[in-house]
Amino acid sequence: MRWEHLIPSEFEKAIKEHSLCIVPTGSLERHGEHLPLGCDMIIAHTVACLAAELEPAVVFPPQILMQAHESACFSGTVNYPSDFAIKAFSLLLKSIAANGFTKILAVNGHGGNSHMLEYFAMSNLDKDEGYTFYHFNIYGSVTEEEQRVIDALWESSPYGHACEMETSLFMACCPGKTKLSLAPKQSIEPQNRFSHLKSKGVHNALWWYADYPDNVTGTALKASEEKGKIVLDIYAKSAARAIKAVKEDNIAPALRQEFINRVNNKGDL
Ligand SMILES: [Zn+2]
């Protein structure tokens, strides 16, 4: 159920029954010439809404005030300074929790957000904001059998961004908004400009740009809404399993309280 669609009595009933709020996290950033800028935001929101039909929870409107520094060089990207983005996300979740939600699950559809979500989660450990925070990557938790079904769909590689897979998924989430004729005519392969660093275990923040300076992988020419519907169904089920696990979890909230108590009793903060 979508937060913005609920009337007050439905909202209060939903909090009593589930106490979990899902926050879809995406971005506004270029996805090649053929996909709209809101691709990740729309995919994350669609997956979250479908998952919440399978495993009821309240879904907050999708967030784009996140982390997209890696796309800052492309027109269409909206990106905030890191301290502001973390603060804004923190205040948003605090306000969601003030409505009575004791658990918040970020359902993420933008790869760049995983860095921010991980840091946000860690930096929140020693604060008692009244809720337990979880985060979930929509691409990260399918079964082996589901992954086999997904892998068998594609007629091109590599996939990763604005590729056949992501384009198909977007087409299923938002029919009629993709301009496939503008997709790359030839597959875009990684440029491997950091192979000398990667091979030595050294990381640099431009790792993605070094491989894909146009933020596009492979080619989406063979993408289709039909393929996307198969993937969307799998990702919705995967996200529903995550929602169920979070709803049933008693351990993380108890440990959070225990940890906060120890922080508060430490006496030197
Ligand atoms: Zn994307």
Domain spans of the chain? 3-266
CA of 133 to the centre of ligand 1 (A): 23
- Note the residue count of the chain: 269
CA of 164 to the centre of ligand 1 (A): 11
Give me 12's structure tokens: 């209060």
CA of 162 to the centre of ligand 1 (A): 6
In this predicted structure, what is the pLDDT of residue 258?
95
CA of 130 to the centre of ligand 1 (A): 32
CA of 167 to the centre of ligand 1 (A): 9
CA of 231 to the centre of ligand 1 (A): 15
CA of 111 to the centre of ligand 1 (A): 7
In this predicted structure, what is the pLDDT of residue 159?
79
Supply the pTM of this predicted model. 0.95
CA of 35 to the centre of ligand 1 (A): 9
In this predicted structure, what is the pLDDT of residue 268?
57
b/e map 70-104, b = 16+ CB within 10 Å: bbeeeeebebbeeeebbeebbeebeebbeeebebb
Domain 3-266 fold:
Rossmann fold (3.40.50)
User: What are phi and psi for residue 106, nearest 5 degrees?
Assistant: -85, 125
Q: Give every strand in the sheet of 103-108, ordered side by side.
A: 58-59, 20-25, 103-108, 132-137
Beta-strand relationship, 132-137 and 58-59: unpaired
In this predicted structure, what is the pLDDT of residue 24?
98
State which residues have CB under 5 angstroms from ligand 1, the bound ion. 39-40
Amino acid residing at 197? L
pLDDT tens digits for the chain (269 residues)? 999 999 999 999 999 998 999 999 999 999 999 999 999 999 999 999 999 999 999 999 999 989 999 999 999 998 889 999 999 999 999 999 999 999 999 999 999 999 999 999 999 898 888 999 999 999 988 999 999 999 999 998 877 899 999 999 999 999 999 999 999 999 999 999 999 999 999 999 999 999 999 999 999 999 999 999 999 999 999 999 999 999 999 999 999 999 999 999 886 55
